[in-house]
Amino acid sequence: MGRSATDLARYPEPVAILVDENTRVVVSGMTGSEGTFHTRQMLEYGTKVVAGVTPGKGGTEHLGLPVFDSMEEAVTATSPNAGLVFVPAPFAKDAVLECAAAGLPFVTLITEGIPILDSVTMMNRLRSEGRTRLLGGNCAGIISPSKCKMGIMPGHIFAEGPVGLVSRSGTLTYEIVWELTRTGLGQTTCVGIGGDPVPGTRFLEVLEMFEADPATTSVVMVGEIGGTDEEAAAEFIKTMKKPVVGFISGRTAPPGKRMGHAGAIVSGSKGTAQSKVDALREAGATVADTPSEIPKLVAASLAASV
Amino acid sequence: MKLHEYQSKDLFSKFGVPVTPGEVASDAEGALRAAQALGGKVVVKAQVLMGGRGKAGGVKLFDRPEDAAAFAGELIGKRLTSVQNPTGMVVEKVLVAQQIEIAEEYYVSILLDRAEQKLVVMCSKEGGMEIEEVAARDPQAIARLVVNPIWGVEDFEIRSLARRAKLPTNVVRQFVPMVKSLVKAYIESDAELIEVNPFALTTDGKLIAADAKVSIDDNSQFRHPEFRETADDAAENPLEAEAARQGIAYVHLGGDIGIIGNGAGLVMCSIDEVSAAGGKPANFLDVGGGAKADRVEKCVRLVLSDPNVKGLLINIFGGITRGEEVAHGILEAFEHLDVSIPVVARIEGTGAQEALNLLSGSKIVGATTMQEAAQRIVALAGA
């Protein structure tokens, strides 16, 4: 069942989780078109991007940042503590494991379309090595508003505040965050765990971090059909002191059809939205029927928990 | 991507797993030659990628090659429908396989265990029926073996699996190397699913894969040129096949409200909202990030080529993609296409106001929330 609370002691415990103003990011695949566009956006947001890695382009400069041939050289020269990977799917596993070998404790993988076997191999190796947390792939990344944006989300829709958010989806998260922000409900950290069937970090682990984070007072969890990670998270929600508002998409998706995300598929009787909604409700979470209900439910949960 | 039975069996053979002797045929003459070569007593199986093929009349046993050929001739070109696939699929090829005398039927499958993030081999003594039925009736009847693909699998683990599944001890000697080969085939082919149902024990004591179901991970296509031809006819629906050719993330759902959005989660959510409003979604379509006018036009064209579509919902959250750019795309698409059905466009986030201003002169109806947009399109399409 993934990493447990005891493993999390290996990771630092910041206010806001996983990334903050002390996060120094190295970008793997920074010189590509995606990498260039989003690195520029991150720099504009104020993220401390310190270097890029592209094999064969070492010694050059890009967006005013040094580019290295290898992660090892980038780590030695610029002391980053987080890696962000943009390389195309066939090279994603290699890039992530290179980050881990160079000693980075945290890696976010944005790339979509990674072969499942690569994700499985990568996760089992990272877990046995035990020193790197992976977030993604196929995710929008992570943002601690006003502190650090490490990903492809539009920064201006986020605001600082007490809500922790974790989600398998990108644009649906933006939709929900936009409504939260406009209602005056800012966020500590928004974590995109991604739409792949074998995610590096799962709901349960992020909920554990939010529960331990003093700045987070309420949690929003956005799940979807496929797999049983929401059900596993619900077991932990039973023990949480902080209120959780949940939302599950794909409630009317037919079984056996893959709904855009590689992981969004109901297989046989496994992974249905109903099973997830039921598990969350039984665990004491409030489950919204439609995204526009979420701010109201979060506000109510905050008022009740004061 | 699902492989046909004959392709799956070819794959098994390549990895040294014994299969029923057989040949694929695409006409009656080919079937006749195959049946004669196989000794006359054969089973003819329609090669269609759908469940319930037997009940749909796509599988029959024959004692004489002439009868097998006649049936093959009837079957090829015919559309088979089943409970699982009411639209059905046209048979293009048949597999002519030797009849075997089966003493016992077992079940073996390999798939991804998402919770463990490893592979799992499942085995049951009760083969020949739907595994979901077995699981529902008696979960204990299915034994599991979790495999870390980095380490692979050892013989003793497979022996333990066989013991837990209560397979007869005299079968285990044949069973172990076969499962080992199937795991190897799974890993080396980037499979998503390998299912052998039944794994048949013949009356003369041989273990054979009597049926074979293999599905390959679409994301691995770049390193598997051997499956490239298969990819073409793997789509279960002509619109899905066309979408795949154009690189559009499209899933056919069979209703009458077309749905276009950006991001898988948002589109799934739009589908839920349309259903909640009493409508029947025709499709899932994700335009992808940063879609420009020509991309939007292609997507609109694809959705409208479904003759059942009576209304279109466009749901966009402008992030890094600006809302007004999408609005321009929609307008351009509508300039080139003669659209007579109602369209509701809901554009939120960055550039939403500009988008609304742009669309205000057109006959496209706006909406603020996703829920409201869904209710509008259902009402308009129903009128």
Of A170, A238, A249, which Cα lies nearest the Cα of A207?
A238
Residues A149 and A268 in one domain: yes
Last residue of a domain, one of A136, A170, A202: A136
Three-state SS for B112?
strand
Tally of structural domains, chain A: 2
Strands, E, within A86-217: which ranges? 106-109, 133-136, 141-144, 148-151, 160-167, 187-192
Supply the pLDDT for residue B265.
92
Check for a shared fold between B21-98 and B238-382.
no
Over the stretch A188-225, which tens digit does the pLDDT of each residue have?
999 999 999 999 999 999 999 999 999 999 999 999 99
Q: Does A44 lie at the interface with B, CB-CB under 8 angstroms?
A: no
Residues A94 and A172 in one domain: no
User: What are the residues facing B109 on neighbouring strands?
Assistant: B122, B195
Answer whether A174 sits within 8 Å of B349, measured CB to CB.
Answer: yes
Answer whether A171 sits within 8 Å of B261, measured CB to CB.
Answer: yes
Supply the pLDDT for residue B234.
58
Q: Work out the average pLDDT over B34-59.
A: 90
What is the DSSP-derived secondary structure letter of residue B221? G
Supply the pLDDT for residue A7.
45
Supply the pLDDT for residue A106.
97
- Residue A207 Cα distances to A112, A214, A231, B265, angstroms: 24, 13, 13, 20
Nearest chain A CA: its distance from B23 CA (Å): 30
Residues A255 and A130 in one domain: no
Answer whether B269 sits within 8 Å of A249, measured CB to CB.
Answer: yes
Residue with tokens 């690569």: A118
Residues A157 and A257 in one domain: yes
Residues of chain B contacting residue A87, judged by C-beta atoms under 8 Å apart: none
Comparing alpha-carbon positions, the chain A residue that sits nearest to B51 is A256
User: Which of A92-106, A161-175, B102-116, B361-375 has the least mean pLDDT?
Assistant: B361-375
**Residue A306 binned pLDDT confidence (cut-offs 50, 70, 90):** low
CATH at residue A255 = 3.40.50.261
CATH architecture label of B21-98: 2-Layer Sandwich (3.30)
Residues A145 and A117 in one domain: no
Supply the pLDDT for residue A13.
45
Predicted TM-score (pTM) above 0.90: yes
Answer whether A175 sits within 8 Å of B349, measured CB to CB.
Answer: yes
**Residue B233 binned pLDDT confidence (cut-offs 50, 70, 90):** low
ipTM: 0.91
Which of B118, B132, B286 faces A268 most closely, judged by CB atoms? B132
Which of B223, B268, B320 faces A152 most closely, judged by CB atoms? B320
Answer whether A117 sits within 8 Å of B190, measured CB to CB.
Answer: yes
- Residues spanned by the domain of A66: 5-136
Q: Which of residues 48-77 of A touch B (CB under 8 A)?
A: none
Residues of chain A contacting residue B286, judged by C-beta atoms under 8 Å apart: 260
**Tokens encoding B70:** 């006649």
Residues of chain A contacting residue B317, judged by C-beta atoms under 8 Å apart: 171-172, 174-175, 178
Interface probe with B: pick from A91, A120, A126, A247, most Cβ of B within 10 Å: A120
Domain boundaries, chain B: 21-98, 102-228, 238-382
Nearest chain B CA: its distance from A4 CA (Å): 13
Residues A147 and A126 in one domain: no
Burial call B21-52: b when 16+ CB within 10 Å, e when fewer:
bbbbbeebebbbebbbebebebbbbbbbbbee
Residues A90 and A195 in one domain: no
Residues in chain B: 383
Nearest chain A CA: its distance from B115 CA (Å): 6
Last residue of a domain, one of A117, A136, A155: A136
| Contact in structure between A137 and A109 (CB atoms under 8 Å) | yes
Catalytic, B195? Answer: yes
Last residue of a domain, one of A110, A136, A162: A136
Q: Does A229 lie at the interface with B, CB-CB under 8 angstroms?
A: yes
Strands, E, within B11-136: which ranges? 22-25, 42-46, 59-62, 79-80, 89-90, 94-98, 102-113, 118-124
Q: Work out the average pLDDT over B250-274.
A: 94
pLDDT exceeds 70 at position A11: no
Supply the pLDDT for residue B82.
81
Residues A131 and A178 in one domain: no
Q: Work out the average pLDDT over B365-373.
A: 91
pLDDT exceeds 90 at position A297: yes
Over the stretch A256-295, which tens digit does the pLDDT of each residue have?
888 988 888 888 777 899 999 999 999 999 999 999 999 9
Answer whether B114 sits within 8 Å of A152, measured CB to CB.
Answer: no
Round to whole Å and give the CA distance between B306 and A257.
Answer: 18
Answer whether A117 sits within 8 Å of B370, measured CB to CB.
Answer: no
Q: Work out the average pLDDT over A131-145.
A: 96
Size of interface A-B (CB pairs under 8 A): 165
Residues A81 and A227 in one domain: no
CATH architecture label of B102-228: 2-Layer Sandwich (3.30)
Residues of chain B contacting residue A197, judged by C-beta atoms under 8 Å apart: 112, 114
Q: Work out the average pLDDT over B6-22.
A: 96
CATH at residue A11 = 3.40.50.720
Nearest chain A CA: its distance from B358 CA (Å): 21
Over the stretch A150-187, which tens digit does the pLDDT of each residue have?
999 999 999 999 999 999 999 999 999 999 999 999 99
pLDDT exceeds 80 at position B342: yes
Percent of chain B's residues with pLDDT above 90: 68
Q: Work out the average pLDDT over B176-194.
A: 97
The hierarchical CATH code for the domain B238-382 is 3.40.50.261
